[in-house]
Amino acid sequence: MRLDRFLGELNLGTRSQVKGLIRRGAVTVNGIPALNPDQRIDEATDRVALHGKELQYRRFVYYMLNKPEGVVSATRDNVSRTVVALLGKDAREDIFPVGRLDKDVTGLLLLTNDGELAHRLLSPKRHVDKTYLAVLAHGLRQADIRRLESGVDIGEERPTLPARVEVVEYDDAVFQTDKVSEARTVCPARTIRLTLHEGKFHQVKRMLQAVDNEVVSLRRIAFGGLCLDPKLRPGEYRELTGEELKILRTATAGDTEV
């Protein structure tokens, strides 16, 4: 790997800042000042130091992004901005999103270069939890909730796996009509928290369609036991802490996939 890339991947500055550090003699490789940013190093065996302090290379990086609307969950796209582009031009080139959120869907998306962890998180056999906050076009009735929870037909070979539905907000409009008594008994939900143990294409939207409803807006608020950091505004991201990484590893632990 090139020396300037090695330093860039440790987030020690932009490419040009890193080149400046090298040219000023601040960087040594195996104790010898390295003055050429193009110099190639072996990140596994060479000892690289900045201002005399040895640097540890990190093979893998993990980010939590609050995905905004209008951005695609891809590494490249000819038309739209990608989630990877939100990390900026100095980000490592091997980072990819862990799964996809639709272009109009917001919220928690993990980005990493750790293919094995990503595979474990996405494996349909591991049933890693995903929680969404969905605002619906119509009030959702108790019978619909029971159907969503036990599994609905979304046109796949099998119905969806059992899911969990929690009502976050009731449909106030119904309480303002002459159907008040009905509303008191059926309590149609307007906003729900839906937890799935699988991740089929457009799954939440298709599940709500299956009960004659429609998703107006959708945000993922948790994935693999991690909650979206409320301090992250749409488009912002941060690295996962060691503790959060442990939570993800626990959620995908075990050798067997069922």
98 binds ligand URA (CB under 6 A): no
Residue 102 contacts ligand URA per CB under 6 A: yes
Q: Which is nearer to ligand URA, 25 or 124 (CB)?
A: 124
Q: Which residue of 112, 113, 203, 252 would you call a contact of ligand URA, by CB under 6 A?
A: 203
Q: Are 76 and 86 in contact (CB under 8 A)?
A: no
Distance between CA atoms of 163 and 150, rounded to whole angstroms?
7
Helices (H), 63-216: 115-122, 142-150, 172-175, 180-186, 203-210
Could you tell me how many residues of this chain bind ligand URA (CB under 6 A)?
Answer: 8
Nearer to ligand URA, 73 or 113 (CB): 73
CA distance 169 to 153: 25
Question: Which residue is listed with tokens 């605002």?
Answer: 135
Pairing of strands 164-170, 189-196: antiparallel
Would you please indicate which residues are annotated as catalytic (active-site) residues?
102
* Range 32-91, binding ligand URA (CB under 6 A): none
Is residue 165 a contact residue for ligand URA (CB under 6 A)?
Answer: no
Query: Which of 164/202 has CB closer to ligand URA?
Result: 202
Query: Per rule CB under 6 A, is residue 105 in the interface with ligand URA?
Result: yes
What is the Cα Rg of the chain in Å? 23
Residue 204 contacts ligand URA per CB under 6 A: yes
Contact at 8 Å (CB) between 198 and 31?
Answer: no
Question: Nearest approach, Cβ of 135 to ligand URA (angstroms)?
Answer: 13
Q: What is the Cα–Cα distance from 94 to 103, expressed in whole angstroms?
A: 22
Task: Please report how close the Cβ of residue 196 comes to ligand URA at its closest, in angstroms.
Answer: 8
Contacts of 139 (CB under 8 A, 6+ apart): 170, 171, 173, 174, 186, 188, 189, 190
Of 21 and 215, which has the nearer Cβ to ligand URA? Answer: 215
Q: Find the part of the chain contacting ligand URA (CB under 6 A) among 12-20, 169-177, 200-208, 239-247.
A: 200-208
Residue 104: CB minimum distance to ligand URA, A? 8
- Binding residues for ligand URA, per CB under 6 A? 101-102, 105, 202-205, 218
